[in-house]
Amino acid sequence: MNAATAGYNFAYLDERTKRMIRRALLKAVAVPGCQVPFGSREMPLAYGWGTGGIQVTAAVIGAGDVLKVIDQGSDDTTNAVNIRRFFARVTGVRTTERTREATLIQTRHRIPEVPLTEQQVIVYQVPQPEPLYKLEPRRSAATRLHAWREYGVMNVKLYEDIARWGRIDSAYDHPVLVNGRYVMAPSPIPSFDNPKMHRMPALQLFGAGREKRLYAVPPYTDVKSLDFEDHPFKVEPQGHACALCGSTDTWLDEVLQDGGARMWTCSDTDFCRERREEKQP
Amino acid sequence: MSAVATDIARIPAGLGDAVHHGQAVFRCVLEAMARPGRLQRLPADVAGALGHPPGWSPALAATLLTLLDAETALWLSPALRDGVAPAWLRFHTGTRIVDAPGAADFAAARADEVDASIWTVLKPGSDEAPHTGATLLLQVDCLSDAAGLRLQGPGIEHEHRLDAAGLDSAFWQARIAQQADFPCGVDLLLCCDDRVAGLPRSTRVTEG
């Protein structure tokens, strides 16, 4: 603790707030995929910068944790750097960029390429936790639809996509059915990452600060991307290879270079580094 | 005045370190809920520094100290309500202790004090707000994950087993009957000495 952080509690939040979030998290784990309201606090970052994920991480993190923070797969983007520095200052925990070393991973919009283990917890930053929001913007009505397990409106949306475009038109935030009961927003991860949520050995926690909701997917829980029998969910291949490591089986970002040239590289920078090191012993 | 002073002097200590030990206990309970039937052990330094009323298991004491505060309502069974425990919990957490189990967010009892009816008297939550269902904490004399109930569902790769002493078949049949009400239901934490095992409402239980 330096002078700037003296007087702040470990992990920034006061203990009473942590207890409130912890009780909500336990209920979220007990009812997989169900959104649980919580008293989201004002954080030293604006809403939209991952305040939900930060509050969940703050309630979970301990002095022995090793924290990794990614934004769109990268450890070095503004959001990730700021959140990592925030927790390093207010907790003093060790941080890492290596997925395999981390015990706690906070993420914005990606799941690491390396399969996560039972010893890890992943926290997602969620802008809009309500998967039905664009179809039913009234919170009270959407809550009733979840209570009745009435997801017909979502099926109509997916059907209309197919009728109009010939395929389901969601490249990211593609809704999933958790444990056969709740339709859940996976946060804006690319559909490419959806299959990784299915029966993942790690505990998955989700926090939406502005919307004041959190939810969870316990380990080894069925997570099915919504689809139809005759239009099964599939990941559209990107048709490129990483310019740095040559990977064709990871999620790639298109990078615009000086002069207008385009380059495709792994979105998961740590995984890309690992691949390159394997190739150059 | 002197009576009050004596009472406070009689109250056992709580968590050795409210911040870091509370976090460690929460992670134990979170793991227990996330991996139903797996026994989670309190870290030795947490259990060692913990104060609790006589007869209470460290796991039960630490869990309540970690999760309760003025926003929660707690029901205590007659055996746990006896003696210094209510004053101890009020002093350390400020929780409200209620007389009716149906009004409680958390209910704590010894295994020999409950029967099948406990599943129906506690708050199950509602379909629209299942998170308002109660959490039941039972102190058992013996807890094993080698045999007993067969558990399946979220948090379980294939099958976990769980054997808790002192809970009879009627108790488990009432728990199994609750599964039809999902997402409503009561979540169970079993505490034995310094170990805790979770049985959230999402777990499908069959008798072994």
A266 and A199 within one domain: no
The alpha carbon of residue A152 and the mean position of all alpha carbons in its chain are separated, in whole angstroms, by 26
A273 and A167 within one domain: no
Digit-coded pLDDT (tens) for A51-87: 999 999 999 999 999 999 999 999 999 999 999 999 9
A245 and A220 within one domain: no
Asked whether residue A9 is domain-assigned, the answer is no
Q: Is A33 a catalytic residue?
A: yes
Digit-coded pLDDT (tens) for B159-197: 999 999 999 999 999 999 999 999 999 999 999 999 999
User: Residue B133 and residue A27: Cβ atoms within 8 Å?
Assistant: yes
Dihedral angle at the C-alpha atoms of A184, A190, A193, A198, nearest 10 degrees?
Answer: 20
* B65/chain A closest Cα distance in angstroms: 10
Task: Give me the domain span that covers residue A243.
Answer: 237-281
Instruction: Answer with the one of A182, A199, A225 that is the final residue of a domain.
Output: A225
A219 and A191 within one domain: yes
3-state DSSP percent of chain A in helix, strand and coil, to 5: 30, 20, 50
Asked whether residue A10 is domain-assigned, the answer is no
Asked whether residue A230 is domain-assigned, the answer is no
Asked whether residue A272 is domain-assigned, the answer is yes
A121 and A25 within one domain: yes
Nearest CA in chain B to A14: B19
Q: Chain A within 8 Å of B35 (Cβ-Cβ)? A: yes
Q: Chain A within 8 Å of B40 (Cβ-Cβ)? A: no
Mean pLDDT of chain A: 95
Low-confidence residues of chain A: pLDDT under 50: none
pLDDT of residue B2: 43
* A46/chain B closest Cα distance in angstroms: 26
A277 and A167 within one domain: no
Nearest CA in chain B to A144: B128
pLDDT of residue A4: 61
A264 and A141 within one domain: no
A43 and A127 within one domain: yes
Q: Chain B within 8 Å of A1 (Cβ-Cβ)? A: no
User: Residue A19 and residue B20: Cβ atoms within 8 Å?
Assistant: no
Residues of B in contact with A59 (CB under 8 A): 26
User: Which amino acid, one-letter code, is at B116?
Assistant: A
pLDDT of residue A2: 59
Q: Domains of chain B (ranges plus CATH)?
A: 2-206 (3.40.50.11310)
pLDDT of residue A279: 87
Low-confidence residues of chain B: pLDDT under 50: 1-3
Digit-coded pLDDT (tens) for A215-250: 999 999 999 999 999 999 999 889 999 999 999 999
A254 and A216 within one domain: no
| H helix and E strand count, chain A | 7, 12
User: Residue B19 and residue A28: Cβ atoms within 8 Å?
Assistant: no
Sheet holding A176-178, edge to edge: A182-184, A176-178, A223-225
Asked whether residue A5 is domain-assigned, the answer is no
A244 and A156 within one domain: no
Asked whether residue A8 is domain-assigned, the answer is no
pLDDT of residue A254: 94
User: Residue B34 and residue A29: Cβ atoms within 8 Å?
Assistant: yes
Q: Is A34 a catalytic residue?
A: no
A242 and A109 within one domain: no
Number of domains into which chain A is organized: 2
Catalytic residue among A33, A52, A53, A209: A33
Asked whether residue A4 is domain-assigned, the answer is no
Asked whether residue A231 is domain-assigned, the answer is no
For residue A134, the domain's CATH number is 3.40.50.11310
pLDDT of residue A167: 83
* C-alpha span between A40 and B4 (Å, rounded): 38
Q: For chains A and B, count residue pairs whose Cβ atoms are closer than 8 Å.
A: 111
- Taking CA atoms, B179 is separated from A36, A141, B103, B138, B144, in Å, by 20, 26, 21, 19, 23
A40 and A134 within one domain: yes
